[in-house]
């Protein structure tokens, strides 16, 4: 059976290899005029300086956590196991870091090259941007496959892969929350002083925060989103592997086959993505959005065919196939349907734009309300995917229902290579537009950049819907994995632990309520960090304008570096409490209230985590596009009252969709992982009640 794992390892190597090749190809493209290169270098230096600081701080945290893991598991299960677990944890953290870093590294090279290529037309500009996006997508998938396969090949133990996943997710959470705070701090500060106070356009090089703003796009959107999907991708595989290893009635090769089936799916998905990205091309005058969507559809079809073939060849139970396809189809459907609530010319966006003429308050109320409604179809989709995969798998004599749910999450995430490629394209073209503006490129070039940018926004909305749904299925699988870990650990210790988690138990109700408060609290803390940090930066921008009048006159270059490092420091400081909430709070609940209450606590955090993530992502996207719709000339166009209201909505939506919302999936993943990982310890120590 290990041959499959070896193939997965090799698939990972191929994926990373192709990513490296694309990387070189992009770097070889024309980097443009000296002025453009200078602008790009500011962004690159800023992004690297932030990531160095971030990973320095996170490295320290990861080191501390690794030592704790080593000690705890050594006491519990022997020194060898403790050390292995700590190493797996570090490996996960390192892979997650490399995935994020690589995406960022290519993004800061590609933005200027895409902008330069835009001088020659849409086709070459799109090609550079999408190839660069693929570097991120393929590298991420490849690193995950290499890491998971290697850990499993060496240890043959799905529990150790859990340690790998915990390392990946913890880093992803902090990279994402930190990046989200950074990007919106810079964005809001740059806009408030630049556009509102002194009246200079977006991306104007006289604005001292403009580089920090563009750096933010890279560290928040590229590195952050990459780390996020990386973590869901690994976590869903691990959850399914754990549930596979816990299947009863199987033994020997059969048990191993179902344990590694999630890895096989990831491997097939990586090949499908490799092929899918080849189809993404756009002709002059074509629609980049359509090309991206076609790429996704081709990848799904190729993946589906390959899964059917492998299931038949390897003699895997057909129920596993249905679960895979249920997840895949639901992911795509939810992704595209989330486009309804945020799409440019759909009723919610148009209606929000229309009412904006009556002021910012009406824009906010309307957008927020549609955001609330947008929760419903996605949740119904998640519920259907869960029930279908559960009951179909439950019919099987080989696998069980919870394994089916786990597999459906993997089925959804297996094509992440393609999804992330489309998504990473977004911030690259956003940056390309910024560089074109800052470097004073001609109007036609900026128009090409605008066309590419609009497609990026749609891709982003689809990815978010997809990421949240996948995270929902993943955490539901992790939630089952937690229960089965607790039960296993209790058996080994000869304890009887009730994991019914019945709603008629008041302790369960209490724990669900407490868990349900965590995602809103986490969102609030990260959003307050954004406004708080933005104030620091606003002061700095005002100081520069005040002390050096030459900046606004355009004769003196502003001090970009101070703004960049201010944003970095503030973002890092803001991560302390969120990190505590994610890692320490579940353990506290487990040790004080016991394993059953911790399960209920996780359940509560999953319910509101998904709901708030959907609300914030969709409302944010909707406000953004409502503003753009007005800017494209409707309801008064740029400069009208409606536009001013639209800008307020967009600014409110920024931390919703880019800071608080997307961190929530990762938050609930980390909380579930830390609970599963420490399950044996929680069982041994027990609750105080």
Residue 420 or residue 501: which is nearer to its own copies going by CB? Answer: 501
Q: How far apart are CA 522 and CA 589, in angstroms?
A: 16
Instruction: Kindly state whether residue 98 participates in binding its own copies, applying the rule CB under 8 A.
Output: no
Q: Which of 31, 275, 517, 577 binds its own copies (CB under 8 A)?
A: 517
Q: How far apart are CA 479 and CA 604, in angstroms?
A: 11
Instruction: Kindly state whether residue 655 participates in binding its own copies, applying the rule CB under 8 A.
Output: yes
Q: Which of 19, 138, 240, 405 binds its own copies (CB under 8 A)?
A: 405
Contacts of 55 by beta carbon, 8 Å cutoff, 6+ apart: 97, 101
88, 178, 96, 90: which is closest to 139 by C-alpha? 96
Q: How far apart are CA 4 and CA 89, in angstroms?
A: 23
Q: Which of 52, 513, 550, 584 binds its own copies (CB under 8 A)?
A: 513
Instruction: Kindly state whether residue 506 participates in binding its own copies, applying the rule CB under 8 A.
Output: yes
We find the least distance from the C-beta atom of residue 83 to its own copies, in angstroms, to be 33
Instruction: Kindly state whether residue 381 participates in binding its own copies, applying the rule CB under 8 A.
Output: no
Site for its own copies in 533-572 (CB under 8 A): 534-535, 538
Instruction: Kindly state whether residue 382 participates in binding its own copies, applying the rule CB under 8 A.
Output: yes
Residue 405 or residue 407: which is nearer to its own copies going by CB? Answer: 405
Q: Which of 13, 446, 510, 681 binds its own copies (CB under 8 A)?
A: 510
Instruction: Kindly state whether residue 491 participates in binding its own copies, applying the rule CB under 8 A.
Output: no
We find the least distance from the C-beta atom of residue 124 to its own copies, in angstroms, to be 38
Q: How far apart are CA 167 and CA 122, in angstroms?
A: 40
Site for its own copies in 332-361 (CB under 8 A): 355, 358-361
> Are 623 and 648 in contact, with CB atoms under 8 Å apart?
no
Stretch that binds its own copies, among 18-26, 249-257, 323-331, 606-614 (CB under 8 A): 606-614
Look-up of token digits 């249905």 = 322
We find the least distance from the C-beta atom of residue 520 to its own copies, in angstroms, to be 4
Stretch that binds its own copies, among 104-112, 143-151, 153-161, 524-532 (CB under 8 A): 524-532
Instruction: Kindly state whether residue 648 participates in binding its own copies, applying the rule CB under 8 A.
Output: yes
Residue 193 or residue 448: which is nearer to its own copies going by CB? Answer: 193
Site for its own copies in 165-224 (CB under 8 A): 188, 192, 196
298, 299, 278, 297: which is closest to 127 by C-alpha? 278
> Are 618 and 338 in contact, with CB atoms under 8 Å apart?
yes
Site for its own copies in 360-379 (CB under 8 A): 360-362, 364-366, 368-373, 375-376, 379
Residue 99 or residue 647: which is nearer to its own copies going by CB? Answer: 647
Residue 173 or residue 477: which is nearer to its own copies going by CB? Answer: 477
3-state secondary structure of 171: helix
Q: How far apart are CA 643 and CA 338, in angstroms?
A: 24
Site for its own copies in 293-322 (CB under 8 A): none
Q: Which of 312, 387, 493, 556 binds its own copies (CB under 8 A)?
A: 387
CA distances from 97 to 91, 217, 531 (A): 10, 17, 27
CA distances from 479 to 389, 392, 531 (A): 16, 19, 34
CA dihedral of 308, 135, 165, 297, whole degrees rounded to 10:
-30
Which DSSP helix (H) or strand (E) runs through 108? helix 79-117
Q: How far apart are CA 283 and CA 96, in angstroms?
A: 35
Q: Two tokens at 279?
A: 């189809």
We find the least distance from the C-beta atom of residue 220 to its own copies, in angstroms, to be 16
> Are 73 and 81 in contact, with CB atoms under 8 Å apart?
yes
Instruction: Kindly state whether residue 611 participates in binding its own copies, applying the rule CB under 8 A.
Output: yes
Instruction: Kindly state whether residue 500 participates in binding its own copies, applying the rule CB under 8 A.
Output: yes
């Amino acid at each position: 059976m290990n041959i499959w794992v070896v193939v997965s390892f090799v698939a990972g190597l191929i994926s990373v290899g192709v990513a490296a090749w694309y990387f070189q190809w992009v770097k070889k493209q024309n980097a443009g005029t000296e002025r453009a290169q200078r602008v790009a270098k500011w962004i690159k230096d800023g992004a690297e300086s932030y990531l160095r600081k971030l990973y320095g701080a996170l490295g320290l945290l990861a080191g501390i956590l690794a030592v704790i893991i080593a000690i705890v598991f050594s006491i519990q299960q022997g020194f060898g196991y403790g050390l292995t677990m700590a190493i797996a944890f570090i490996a996960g953290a390192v892979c997650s870091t490399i995935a994020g870093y690589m995406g960022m590294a290519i993004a800061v090279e590609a933005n200027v090259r895409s902008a330069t290529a835009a001088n020659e037309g849409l086709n070459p500009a799109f090609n550079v941007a999408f190839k660069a996006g693929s570097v991120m997508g393929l590298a991420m998938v490849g690193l995950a496959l290499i890491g998971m396969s290697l850990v499993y090949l060496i240890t043959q133990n799905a529990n150790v892969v859990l340690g790998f996943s915990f390392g990946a997710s913890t880093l992803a959470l902090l990279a994402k929350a930190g990046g989200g705070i950074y990007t919106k701090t810079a964005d809001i500060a740059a806009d408030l002083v630049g556009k509102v106070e002194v009246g200079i356009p977006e991306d104007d090089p006289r604005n001292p925060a403009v580089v920090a703003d563009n750096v933010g796009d890279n560290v928040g959107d590229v590195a952050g989103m990459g780390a996020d999907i990386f973590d869901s991708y690994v976590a869903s595989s691990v959850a399914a592997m754990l549930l596979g290893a816990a299947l009863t009635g199987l033994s020997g090769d059969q048990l191993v086959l179902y344990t590694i089936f999630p890895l096989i799916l990831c491997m097939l998905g990586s090949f499908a993505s490799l092929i899918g990205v080849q189809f993404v091309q756009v002709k002059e005058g074509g629609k980049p959005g359509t090309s991206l969507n076609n790429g996704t559809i081709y990848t799904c079809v190729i993946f589906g065919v390959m899964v059917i073939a492998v299931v038949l060849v390897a003699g895997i139970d057909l129920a596993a196939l249905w679960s895979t396809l249920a997840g895949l189809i639901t992911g795509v459907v939810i992704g595209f349907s989330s486009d309804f609530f945020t799409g440019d010319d759909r009723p919610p966006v148009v209606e929000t734009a229309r009412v904006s003429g009556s002021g910012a308050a009406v824009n906010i109320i309307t957008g927020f309300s549609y955001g609330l409604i947008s929760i419903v179809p996605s949740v119904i989709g998640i519920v259907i995917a869960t029930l279908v995969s559960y009951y179909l798998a439950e019919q099987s004599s080989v696998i069980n229902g919870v394994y089916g749910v786990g597999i459906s999450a993997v089925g959804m995430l297996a094509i992440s290579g393609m999804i992330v490629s489309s998504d990473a394209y977004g911030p690259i073209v956003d940056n390309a537009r910024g560089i074109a503006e800052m470097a004073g490129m001609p109007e036609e070039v900026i128009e090409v950049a605008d066309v590419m940018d609009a497609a990026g926004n749609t891709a982003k909305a689809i990815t978010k819907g997809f990421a949240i749904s996948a995270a929902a299925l993943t955490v539901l699988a992790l939630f089952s994995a937690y229960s089965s870990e607790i039960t296993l650990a209790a058996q080994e210790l000869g304890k009887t632990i009730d994991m019914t988690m019945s709603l008629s138990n008041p302790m369960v109700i209490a724990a669900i309520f407490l868990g349900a408060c965590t995602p809103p609290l986490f969102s609030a803390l990260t959003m307050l960090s954004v406004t708080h940090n933005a104030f620091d930066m606003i002061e700095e921008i005002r100081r520069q304008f005040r002390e050096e009048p030459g900046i606004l006159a355009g004769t003196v270059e502003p001090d970009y570096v101070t703004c960049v490092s201010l944003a970095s420091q503030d973002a890092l400081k803001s991560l302390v409490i969120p990190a505590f909430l994610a890692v320490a709070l579940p353990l506290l609940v487990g040790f004080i209230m016991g394993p059953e209450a911790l399960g209920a606590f996780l359940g509560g955090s999953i319910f509101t985590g998904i709901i708030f993530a959907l609300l914030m992502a969709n409302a944010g996207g909707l406000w953004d596009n409502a503003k753009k719709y007005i800017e494209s000339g409707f309801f008064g166009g740029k400069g009208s009252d409606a536009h001013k209201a639209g800008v307020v909505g967009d600014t409110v939506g920024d931390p919703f969709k880019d800071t608080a919302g997307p961190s929530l999936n990762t938050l609930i993943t980390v909380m579930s992982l830390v609970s599963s990982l420490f399950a044996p310890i929680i069982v041994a120590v027990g609750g105080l009640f």
